[in-house]
Amino acid sequence: MSSPISGGEREKLVSKLPAHLQQALKVRAAQLQTDMQDAVAGGIQAWRDFTEELPAVNTAGADSFGTYLPEGLYEDFKADCRERGVSYIQGLAQSVVLWLADHPAGIQATTRRIIVCNQKGGVGKTAVSAGLAQALAEDPTAVGAATGAGIGGLRVLLVDYDPQGHLTHQLGLTAIPAGEESLITHMLHREQAKQSLLDLTIAIDGDRFGGRLRILPAAFDAFLLDSGLTVFRGPRHAALERALASLEDEFDVIVVDSPPSLGLAMDAALNYGRQRDDEKPGASGLVIPVEAEDTSAQAYGMLIQQIDSLSRDFDIAIEQLGLVVNKFDSRRGYIATSSLDKWKSLGTPPVLAVVPDVKEQREAVRKQRPLLDYAPDCEQSHQMRQIARGVKTP
């Protein structure tokens, strides 16, 4: 629909646009000191002038979006959409993607999203999530040139998406009680939320992180998330993205510690980590902790099936950034060493690091301190930095 504003010089566009494109548009327009309405108008004009067929944009989970266009442009745009056989929402999304491509900011505008996942419990997802986030946020000057070069210094959000809340507890915090506002509220009942998600995040102590590392704690009622998503009216697989979109301009990287599950909540996490239309391959995706034993390989196969199914259903690209062979101990003999060789032989995804099973991680958990703050020079900390180097933006 369109409605004239005073003076008749502009008219209102009311449509829908995916949350991540709304966020990217807002950030890029601010970076370039451009009015958003001028950016949208420029994108629509570029779309109308573009003669070749454009690739379809994934518009799942599109939210309401409104702006003002020069008078007459919206009607011309809708006529072009009908002629090209695309929906108004698709045409608008393609227009915004065109504008973003034509107006680079010189930096990666899209917040990177790293999903740490494996449906098998006990493989160390929480330890890898926390260690990777700490390495990405760590002051680069606090580590030696050989171990810290090229990583660190980023604004990082850790999301405890596991209803068990191990990540929250291990950092000395308490999960959000059932019934209080949390990530789950913003996913399922966003219209009832009275607090911003940013207000629910907590800074993680540690001089090495300089206030750059925050956590969104777990919620006790997250155990009900799958059943809540079953009756959710919106696109279920986009629920996590819609909730976290408001945080993306506050952080360079968001690391999600996922539950040991293959349910609807995991679909939402995998979708959140997909490659977006406006970002480079390898910028976002999955980090998968595994162990050097046979049942871990079986669980990995089940995760791959879920990734493939979701990718086909919604025509999206979900990249596996790499594997982390966790809690490795060569003294366990042939099973451990041969399994490690098999993981390495995959080639794609690569093995980002082999994290040894030594005491410092367990000690840090007991003391409820971040590993890289408690034992920054231990081998486990070095391997967490190795993971961070492995997922560095290409």
Residue 22's CATH number: 1.10.1220
DSSP per position, 165-200: -HHHHHTT--PBPTTS--HHHHHH-GGG--S-HHHH
Percent of the chain with pLDDT over 70: 93
Contact 357, 123 (CB under 8 A): no
Residues 172 and 56 in one domain: no
Q: Over 50: is that where the pLDDT of 145 sits?
A: no
* Domain-terminating residue out of 80, 102, 124: 102
* Domain-terminating residue out of 81, 102, 123: 102
Q: Over 50: is that where the pLDDT of 248 sits?
A: yes
CA distance 275 to 113: 9
Residues 68 and 137 in one domain: no
Burial class (CB in 10 A: 0-12, 13-18, 19+), 332: middle
- Give the chain's domain count: 2
Mean pLDDT of 106-113: 72
Residues 13 and 141 in one domain: no
Q: Over 90: is that where the pLDDT of 150 sits?
A: no
**Tokens 């966003």 -> residue:** 190
Q: Over 70: is that where the pLDDT of 4 sits?
A: no
Residue 107 included in any domain: no
Residues 45 and 134 in one domain: no
Residues 79 and 135 in one domain: no
Q: Where residue 146 falls among pLDDT bands split at 50, 70, 90?
A: very low
pLDDT at 169: 94
Domain that holds residue 98: 2-102
Residues 118 and 98 in one domain: no
Residues 90 and 153 in one domain: no
Residues 58 and 196 in one domain: no
Residue 283 included in any domain: yes
Residues 178 and 51 in one domain: no
CA distance 180 to 173: 16
Mean pLDDT of 100-122: 82
